[in-house]
Chain A
Amino acid sequence: MTATAMPERRARSGSAWSRLVANPLTVIGLFLLAVLGGLALAAPILPLANPDATSLSERLTPLFSPGAWLGTDHLGRDLLSRLIWGTRVSIAVGLAATLAAALIGSTIGLVAAFYGRWVDAVLMRTIDTLMAFPYLLLALAIVAALGPGLLNALMAIAVVNIPFFARAVRGQALAIKNQDYVAAARLSGFSDARIILTEILPNVLPVVIVTMSSTLSWMILETAGLSFLGLGAQPPTADLGSMLGDGRDLIHRAPMVALLPGLVILLLAIGINLVGDGVRDVLDPRLKSGALTRPAAATKRRLPPAPGTPEMDERLVLSVRNLSTFFEVGGRTLKAVHDVSFEVRRGEALGVVGESGSGKSVTALSLLGLVASPPGVITDGAIWFNDRQRGPMDLARLPVKELQQLRGSRIAYIFQDPLTALHPVLKVGFQVAETLVVHQGMGWADARREAVRLLDMVKLPTPAEKAHAYPHELSGGQRQRVMIAMALANRPDLIVADEPTTALDVTTQRRVLELLDELRREHDAALLFISHDFGVIADLCDRVQVMYAGEVVERAPSAELFRNPSHPYTRRLLDCVPSLTDDRKIEAIPGLPPAVDRLPPGCPFADRCEEAEAACREGTIALRQVSDRHAARCIHAPGAALAEAS
């Protein structure tokens, strides 16, 4: 087993190295460390003056003196030579302290995690108490007890860093301890020591390395500090810190003597921190692939020139034409939404169904530029919104400022999980009132009163009290009512509800949906309702549009779609809906949707379709007009190919 695992591990570490040196900052750090470390290592073989040889005739010579490039100190000792030898001592002490702290701290962490119970309790309480000390102070107390000296300083610094290793390793080891392979090793009767060393230790090593890389620079800085205070290196041994201490008395006469060792410490620490950051980026999966990138205020756009403004009749609220929204992730392009067109009219509810990843949410979020960018980019199409005052406007090309004025006022969103969608530390009344203040220029007092009225409208019990509650103090259904109140506050023309009841239990679901339906009829608003639940769609929506792999594959009035599904995918989806009236078997659709960065030519459903033939895998499949208001993207569907609006 080990033999087969090895090459794979080597391959991975090879790619880790290449990822490490792909970061220019890390390369700078590596360069700094290579130069300083190389000089320190080579000190014995370099043609350097004896660092401890004093010369009373050559005291405090300036920079670039013959025989002493960097001058001499108050005893006439060659500064360059002392710097290099001092660097050697500082690096050695820093590394030794780091290794000692890593060894002891990791052992404590492993033992605490492995044995648990009272062993864990005693060890970790001790560690916690050590961490309750101000960092350097404990080191000072230890040096006070042991007496000044380089070795004692090293031990003191190592001790105060033990907790960082113990905590990090314990956390990681706890996660690994319960894995199957550890249990298997236990059942095989391996000794505790063997399990810890062969099964757990290799898996906590990355954590140890990350902790080492983040503590090494502190340890070098702090040992230098102790030496500076006269508590570390004692003459004639000199490290960079004690050289600084010497230089301190000379800052009036010869500031260079203090400047240089500090500069070397600074460069050393910068090098270590740069490399440490690089190592962390490589080893911490959370930081990979820019997962921590800040989303922009609006989705990025890369659009062809604007098309002409279409005619839109008064009842038509939204007309999306050939919309494409892609995700650009590390050189790959995921076609999340591809050439999607649809319309919604005032007072109408359009349902959008599809599996996760079919592009239904991305379509909805694209309308107001709410797709996170990076990675999202709107690459094609137009989003015509019929504004009551200004007439048709293309949201895809609207400046962000104007987009913001429409958000929450003319078009409002209701998100899936109200617990994460509501701000956790703002009172719900405030969150509702805020949208009134921003869009209607209402004063805060009026807005708060109006917010209570809106909370009453969505049938939140005791709305005046609930306005002062935080989201976590409300139930799931109540939270979603707050979201609905917020969405309806400015009487929008279009409400986009993205699986608004998925996070709720079934009875709550029903009541929230009834409320939503009632209010959108009252407000004569258009509703774009996204769901993966056909049952809910059938109850609520006038028309349904089915999405698959970023495309619209079928669209029809609800009753028509359920009676006469024309796309094989729709049929399979409908077959998945459980029914009380007949006893047919529910079958999952075999296979998975295609990866949206490698869409095959032709129909994306072909590979999962029982009716697929050669023609399905060629060219672009157009939507076909099945009947007056019914269209399907399948070559087997009856009717003529539809020229899509462009």
Chain B
Amino acid sequence: MFGYIVRRLLQAIPVLLGISIIVFLVISLIPGDPATAILGAFATPENVARVNAALGLDRPLPVQYLSWLGGVLQGDFGVSFALDRPVADELGERIFPTFILAATALVLCAVFGLLAGTLSAVRQYGWTDRIISVLVLIGISTPSFWLGMMAIVLFSIELGWFPTGDMYSLFGGGGVGDLIWHLTLPAITLAVVATGVVARLTRANMLEVLRQDYVRTARAKGLPERLVISRHAVRAAIGSLVPIIGIQAGFVLGGAVYIEEVFQWPGLGRMLVRAISQRDIILVQGGVMLIATAFVLINLATDVIQSMLDPRVRDR
């Protein structure tokens, strides 16, 4: 078990290095340089060269990469020129809102996706299956940013049940209850697409498992159908479903960008959108690197959980 975790950790290192290279390259190969973005289009060539030198952009690419990576490893992501503050500080402030939003959505999509998918498979071709399948189809076809707006129109503007946005009430807010009240709509909206995907894959996986010999053995033993499903079929399917939920983390983290924008949630996603439109490249670099790293670590965690649920995986 311990050996498996160490092995997976070691495997994550080249992936993270690859990610850092892509992030660095994508941002560095931009036509138009940050100096012009800082100084404006009318800056003299001398001034542009001076700022470029100050930012270290006159050095060869590999040198720039290594110095950037060295900084990142020490928690130094550079300085955002639009905000005029260290990127690390900005990221630090925005991690929690995005974390709580994405984590809630991920839990929702795991719970409801697994339940709906299992139910759908067990009642294959019955009414429950049909209704769930239609809901799932709508779920995976819905633009989440639109759904968020419609949720605001209905539940916030018309019914007044939930706030229209932000993370805490402006006055007298700040408690856990206040946070949950603000979190409800964005988290559910963010979870919809991922729930649909998880439900679909769970259904397919369960149907596959239900045809296996060991499920027939469970029946031959005389187990009531309830136990055949809940103990034998689910237990066999869950191992391979955990990594699927890990992959959903990627869609949830990406989708959080829209949802944070729609609900004015003060997280990394909103920060990124603003940084992109201001061409605050260093901030984008730091934000993308942080979220991508989080995604790699989440997948690592789900692989470890899978190996705990399925002894065959760690013995492989």
Contact B222 A439 (CB under 8 A): yes
Q: Looking across the interface, which residue of chain B has its beta carbon closest to that of A136?
A: B254
Contact A425 B310 (CB under 8 A): yes
B212 at interface, CB cutoff 8 A: yes
A429 at interface, CB cutoff 8 A: no
Q: How far is the CA of A473 from the CA of B18 in the complex (A)?
A: 37
B304 at interface, CB cutoff 8 A: no
Q: How far is the CA of A370 from the CA of B312 in the complex (A)?
A: 28
Residues in chain B near residue A272, CB distance under 8 A: 141
The binding surface of chain A is classed by DSSP as helix
Q: How far is the CA of A250 from the CA of B276 in the complex (A)?
A: 24
Of the stretches B51-59, B61-69, B291-299, the one at the interface is B291-299
Contact B261 A229 (CB under 8 A): yes
Contact A133 B222 (CB under 8 A): no
Residues in chain B near residue A130, CB distance under 8 A: 22
Contact A438 B214 (CB under 8 A): no
Contact A137 B291 (CB under 8 A): yes
Instruction: Number of A interface residues at 8 Å Cβ cutoff, please give it.
Output: 83
Q: Looking across the interface, which residue of chain B has its beta carbon closest to that of A417?
A: B213
Of the stretches B39-47, B71-79, B89-97, B231-239, the one at the interface is B231-239
Q: Knowing A244-B146, A294-B124, say if A424 contacts B30 (CB, 8 Å).
A: no
Q: How far is the CA of A135 from the CA of B292 in the complex (A)?
A: 10
Contact B143 A224 (CB under 8 A): yes
Instruction: Number of B interface residues at 8 Å Cβ cutoff, please give it.
Output: 85
Contact B138 A420 (CB under 8 A): no
Q: Looking across the interface, which residue of chain A has its beta carbon closest to that of B154?
A: A255
B152 at interface, CB cutoff 8 A: yes
Q: Looking across the interface, which residue of chain A has its beta carbon closest to that of B224?
A: A404
Q: How far is the CA of A136 from the CA of B190 in the complex (A)?
A: 13
A413 at interface, CB cutoff 8 A: yes
Q: Looking across the interface, which residue of chain A has its beta carbon closest to that of B214?
A: A423
Q: Looking across the interface, which residue of chain B has its beta carbon closest to that of A425?
A: B310
Q: Per-position contact with A for B179-214: 1 when CB-CB < 8 Å, else 0?
A: 000000000000000000000000010111011111
Q: Knowing A231-B277, A425-B239, say if A405 contacts B311 (CB, 8 Å).
A: no
Contact A147 B310 (CB under 8 A): no
B241 at interface, CB cutoff 8 A: no
Q: How far is the CA of A317 from the CA of B81 in the complex (A)?
A: 87
Within 8 A of B (CB), among A230-273: 230-231, 241, 244, 247-248, 251-252, 255, 258-259, 261-262, 265-266, 269-270, 272-273
Q: How far is the CA of A244 from the CA of B146 in the complex (A)?
A: 7
Of the stretches B105-113, B167-175, B245-253, the one at the interface is B245-253
B117 at interface, CB cutoff 8 A: no
Q: Per-position contact with B for A257-298: 1 when CB-CB < 8 Å, else 0?
A: 011011001100110111000000000000000001111011
Contact B291 A134 (CB under 8 A): yes
Contact A266 B224 (CB under 8 A): no
Contact A434 B312 (CB under 8 A): no
Residues in chain A near residue B138, CB distance under 8 A: 266, 270
Contact A435 B257 (CB under 8 A): no
Contact B219 A297 (CB under 8 A): yes
A sample of 8 inter-chain contacts (CB < 8 A) reads A133-B288, A133-B292, A136-B254, A136-B257, A140-B276, A244-B143, A248-B262, A262-B143
